[in-house]
Structure 1
Amino acid sequence: MKNTIKFLIAFISMATVSCTDSVEDREAVATNAAPVLVAPATGFTLVLDKTKPNDLATTVVWNYAAYNGTATVVNYSVEFAAAGTKFASPVVVATSTDRFKNFTVGELNAAALNSGFPPFVESSIDVRVKSTVGTTGSVVQASNFYTIKLTPYPAWPDWGIIGSATPTGWDSDTNLNYDLNTKTYSITINMVPGAYKFRLDDGWGTNYGSNSATGGDLVLKGADIPITVAGTYKITADFNAKKYTVTKL
């Protein structure tokens, strides 16, 4: 009986040592080679076409990263940053476990806008790829970068104001600026005594008005909004909440 107990103790001890050794000897994941960005290269320039959102705009291609240690899934993220900022505030615009990412015109446009690049303006954008491993996104490796130039288009409804109080009168709209963060439209503009209305896509099919000169509820096809005193005004509109404000500066 004593010999049996001794044998069991010896067996358990050997198993414990074996398990400890296997954990300690297991190689931790470590960097080996960063991904290499291949395309699009510096010099790539594109004016994005609003009428072709589903067309292929470009494909971001990179060589796989390499890691030492236990095999695991490698995740890749494509990042945009303003050119020359050394990726101080990068924005992840796509992820993949492959070595490429196709961007349609609409997707690339959204990537540019979400990264803070304005519509109708050619912006220089630094592009790179970062690799991480595991579910925690650790052991990061960053690729080289290329600088491309994109001109995005607005991916939101085109709202403007029109009326005798505006610089162009009732002849044409003055476009409002859209804020991606607040989802509101605004403009700072010189106005004269008269009136104006909000309208969509430079047409009268959808327009809003109000009797109040200082703001409040927007009324579909409502009354012309009055301006009684000339001056510089900041006008802000939330077409989701159907509210607007007017502030004389």
Structure 2
Amino acid sequence: MKNISKYLIALLSIITFSCTDSVMDREEVTAGSPPVLAVPTSGLTIVLDKTKPNDLVSTMVWSYASYSGTNTVVNYTIEFAKAGTNFAKPVVIASSLEKFKKFTVSELNTAALDAGFLPFVESAIDVRVKSTVGTTGSIAQTSNSFTIKLTPYPAWPDWGIIGSATPTGWDSDTNLDYDLSTKTYSITLNMVVGEYKFRLDDAWSTNFGDNDNNGTLDAGGANIPITVAGSYRLVIDFNGKTYRITKL
């Protein structure tokens, strides 16, 4: 029994020494040279066309970053920032393990909107590439940057409010404003005693009312009443099928 115990202790010592030695021999990963963004260059102007969402509109190309030490996967992220802000608030719009990233019209439009750039407005955008290594995304290296001009289009459904309580009655919709950060629609308007509903794309094929007048939207539901005239603020969540109306 004593011999077996001695054997186990010796074996454990060998394993421990081997593992420690392996860790000590592992070379630390350090930054070498950052990626270099080659395309697109400054001066590129893009007006995105909503009717061609699947068309290839741009390809961003850069050189591989270098790192010394144990081989590891290098991850690349593409960042957008408002031009002239020195990337104080960068937004990651895409990632890649390669040294390029292709964008369709729809993908680039979504990237611009998610980064906070307004539809139908030409925005000057600084773009760069950042490299990191490992699963924790450490040891970052950033590329040079270029400034492009980009005009996105709205990529959310066109909801409106309509009814006898609204300024245009049942004849036409009043468009609702969309908030990218909250994914909700809203509007402030003067309303009279009457009724209203919400509908999509100025048509009755998709519309919402409220059968119980309890703030829950019902597809094709009952008209929502306004019993006191005045200025109202409405906030609508069509994903959650709820709305909130407040008299100001």
What does residue 164 of structure 1 align with?
A: 164
Q: How does 1:52-71 map to 2 (within 5 A)?
A: 52-71=52-71
Correspondences of 1:1-249 after superposition (within 5 Å): 27-210=27-210, 216-249=215-248
Deviation sequence 1:41-78 (CA, Å, 0-9, x none): 22222222222211112111112212233333221111
Q: What is the Cα deviation at residue 27 of structure 1? A: 4.3
The CA deviation string for residues 199-224 of structure 1, in whole angstroms up to 9 with x for no partner, is 00111111122377x75222333333
TM value normalised by structure 1 = 0.81
Hey, which bits of structure 1, 4+ residues long, moved more than 4 A? 22-27
- 1:107 and 1:199 map into 2 onto residues whose CA distance is 27
Specify every segment of 5 or more residues in structure 2 that has no aligned partner in the other structure, as ranges.
1-12
CA contact 1:207–1:221 (8 Å) conserved in 2: yes
Offset at residue 241 of structure 1 (A): 3.1
Counterpart Cα distance in 2 of 1:24 and 1:224 = 73
Q: What percentage of aligned pairs have identical amino acids?
A: 68
Asked if the contact 1:38–1:63 (Cα under 8 Å) also holds between the matched residues in 2, the reply is: yes
Q: Residues 193 and 44 of structure 1: is their aligned pair in 2 closer, same or farther, counting only changes over 3 Å?
A: farther
CA RMSD of aligned residues (A): 2.8
Q: Within 1, Cα distance between the matches of 2:25 and 2:218?
A: 72
**Contact residue 211 and residue 226 of structure 1 kept, 8 A:** no
The runs of 5 or more residues in structure 1 that have no matched partner are 1-11
- Which moved further from structure 2: 135-144 or 63-72? 63-72
State the number of aligned residues: 234
TM-score, normalised by the number of residues in structure 2: 0.81
Q: Which amino acid aligns with 2:228?
A: V
Contact 1:199 1:206 (C-alpha < 8 Å) held by counterparts: yes
